[in-house]
Amino acid sequence: MNAREQIVTMLKTIYDTGDVNAMTIWKGYDAGTMENGWHYKNFGRSDAQYMGKSVAEVREFVNEAAATYRAQYVEAKAATVVYVEPAMLGDMATDADARRMVELLKERGYDARLGSALNSADVPADDWGECLDIISQEQYA
């Protein structure tokens, strides 16, 4: 795998695959960054992002970006108030199921509470689905 392919693979760990595929990625000088090395431009943008002079430096750039993203994601989850009511869990859900969902969401870092879902924030589908699966497994265990 050449250097550009390695960098594309690394970028896909922090950005959507489609966004990375649409990026312009090159090694060279950019007048905007005033740096010589690996850069990328998002599709439709004119500003470039400098990543480093070598693949190793790009790896550090990606690792730092991933750590920053994870920290921001955890912080955003903690600030997200999610209200849960039985109707959100299905036609047969009970108050006990809703309480269990609140517990599971809190374990995942959300500020979850029982109550009306009218003004509730959305929980990402993977977290919500994982919690629903746990509740289902517990009911049939």
Structure confidence by residue, pLDDT tens digits, 53-108: 999 999 999 999 988 888 887 787 777 788 999 988 888 899 999 999 999 999 98
Structure confidence by residue, pLDDT tens digits, 104-136: 999 988 889 998 866 666 787 888 889 999 998
What is the distance between the alpha carbons of residues 11 and 63, in angstroms, rounded to a whole number?
10
Structure confidence by residue, pLDDT tens digits, 31-53: 999 999 999 999 999 999 999 99
106 and 75 Cβ atoms separated by less than 8 Å: no
pLDDT of residue 42: 93
What is the distance between the alpha carbons of residues 137 and 133, in angstroms, rounded to a whole number?
6
Minimal CA–CA distance to 52: which of 35, 71, 65?
A: 35
What is the distance between the alpha carbons of residues 80 and 98, in angstroms, rounded to a whole number?
18
